[in-house]
Structure 1
Amino acid sequence: MSTTAFGERALNEIVEDILARGDAAESAGLEVKSELDLTKRGLGIAKAAKFILGAANRDIAVAQQFYGGRAIMVIGVAKDQAPGVAPGVEPHQLGDRLRGYFADAEPPWDLLRIPARDIPGNEILFLIVEPPQPGDPIRVCSKDFQPADSADRKHALVDGGIYVRDKSQTRTANSADIKRLANRAAATTTAEPTIDVSTTRPLLVTDESADDGRERWIEIQEVAYRRTRPAKPRKREVYAPYVPPSDKHRYRPIDDVIADGIDNVNQNWPDALDYFTQGLGGGNSVTIEVSEFIKSPELILTIPDAQAYWYEEATADGIKKALPLLVVPDEDDLVASLIRTTTYFPPAPSAPPELDLEIDYNDDGALILTCTPPSLRPGTPWVSEELAIYIESTTPGPREVDATWTLTGEGLGFVQGTTTLSVHTESPSLQESVANAIEIFAQGLDSDPGDDNPLTAIGE
């Protein structure tokens, strides 16, 4: 047994999430049971034993993404209802019923409870398995269980079986799982190096949507276009980005051209926003510094409420191509000071570099950056490829954010820690940068500012 660092407030937050999302709340760290009989040996005890075994055999780095490494089975809650279960399950009695399924020292677990929401006197139970650690043995089932009902066969247990939990289910281990568990059992943490994880620049801020910028861009183009055309069409009006040959010589009312152009801007706006996202605010890299040599490391950095994109510097020409046109000019003098391109081609997305950094997100929406350099050497910081990293925040944004990291490596075992990353609250948010860029182009600038980077006034 262990003392689990969970208070009633944290347990109630888990219940609220299940009430809102039901089984969709399940993950590698959470299993939901609307009911489960733990008062006697049988199917309920077998399900609990399988969960404990699978949770104890989880990948250490995966486990750290949930509840500080713990796994929780919640009993007595479902979507929109929390009836709980009848009281009467005590930890020592539950331990007696479970013990036969554990081959060696049982995995550390605990049982907590809070009052049920819907039925007075009932309880919501929380079966909590402690985080797996380097050096832990492979948790092997030591008892057969065959459900009486054929519909429950998926819950069978086999003496000598190895079970693991990943994503939202507990399953039989495969060869890769067994190799990982064997490496974990052989790992030690006797010589932990000093490790520092940081980013080269403060994180950027993105707030809500960029719809205001899109509407402003449409307004600017429409005003400029109407100035160049009479109320009634006198020559062809061509809709961007492409019109079939049979339609190219049609005379069209201005309002119709503009309506089609608005559809074009709306359709292509996400591509334009992607260009701004990856290119404004400067590139940012993950840096890792260590005090001892580490071979074949894997560092997983988890940043809550964040997004990341491969960085590619935005340029004036790139913005001109990225902002979708309301209409394609058919004469040189048509909005010439504003729209300086003859057609709209969304900028090709940059191919992610095939290097040692991977971008992903967990079930809670946190950013997961997996860094896999060939090695880490003392005195030589490792610096990743450049990213644009944004924190999702309303104004005013936070000045810093706490991130967690885990590191494994050949002969190292498992090391974990936290790092505080600063947030660039003085720079414009992504949406402000988009708005600034649009206003600059609205002024009809025909030449770049006298700077190596013409977007200094926009994104910095």
Structure 2
Amino acid sequence: MDTNVAPLGERILRSVLDHVVAIGDAAETSYLEAKSTVDITSKTGLVKVAKFLLACANRLPEDAARHLKGYAVLVIGAQQGEAGGVARGAEPHELADRLRPYLGATFPGFEFGRIGVEGDLEVLFVVGLPPEDGQPIFPCHKAYGVPGEDQLVNGAIYVRDHSNTRTANAGEIMALVERARGVPRPPIALDIGLLGSISRVGRVAEVLDRLYDFEEQRYLEPPSKEKAPPPGFALPGLFGDTVTSTAEDRAARIDAWRQARPAYVEAGRAHLFGVALDGVGVRVVSRDRFVARPEIVLTFHDCEIVDFAERDDADLSLLVEPVRGRETPHWGMVDPGASRITPRDYPVWDQRGMNAEVTLTPESLRPNVGWSTDQDDYVIVARDPQTTSVRVTWVLTEDSSDLTTRGEMAVPVGPLVDAAELVKMAFLNEQ
């Protein structure tokens, strides 16, 4: 369906109808709704039409103008695979008279169309007009309610949200107030800053390989020839085997451990970063603009992201997986990130290939008022320890709007720290 034309005239309306018949409910958007059977001569049918028209009149001009020249269409008498129609007899002037108590005397009106189908049936089209800057908010002027059916609330402000009609939230009402003033909403402009620093860590692979090599050597050496740990890496209680095993058992165990070693090292790396490095937060300010229920996705390019943990959570057996295994295996535990219950204003983070991604969903952003997250949720580490800054890109979308706002910034990184020093500090209590 071509959405760059006004839905007026039989040819265009027939293309809208064909679209609805082709894909049914999937055709419904902020500018198109379809009902298979609605009797607009009944009170319940009238409620559906009134709510749709009110919601269409309460759109923002810049949002509405992107499709169908700002018009919106309610198709009555069609569904996927069928244009069954409704009984003939509806007249636009009669419908307007019956709708007036609900829409109010100042409502801008609507267009009406019909396409005949089999017998005495026809498909009806109720077309909402394009909204304009300077128009007032259009509230419902009369209540109607029957349990189990669509209801209208006196004074309610209805809006279209993607494919359904609902009451407006605070941000949408404020935007409509701006529309009534005749001033287009300014574009979204964000100031985004980092709380804390992106970390840099040197010699991570080297230090972890050294620790894992030593664990393997300790396991393979007879107790009488047990080697001292490398200087600065005395991990008491981690190395050694306290259970007498046969040679075959020990060989099978070390073979399985070697095969799993890359995964153990990766987990140990994340645990080291989580307990030894400081967390990062984000502060967002919307300049001169209220933003309702935004979603902001930040991408930290060429970075790692791990769960932040307190220093008291440092566990040697999570840093270096013992060959003999743990008394309480951590691999049997549920990944806390997989079952994390997060309220709307809580950040969500994940590793996306070589990049770290953080998604922020505040309830709203108030003009020139900072909104920020805590610094005890996640840790971000630059993959290149020699870099001086990290490229961060972000994308913002706002509830009930198809517009996308993008930005980019270069964030300085923190001082370079050595992985061996992190191990001593977090696991050996050496400052």
Range of TM-score over shorter length: 0.3 to 0.5
**Greater Cα radius of gyration, structure 1 or 2:** 2
TM-score, reference length from structure 2: 0.45
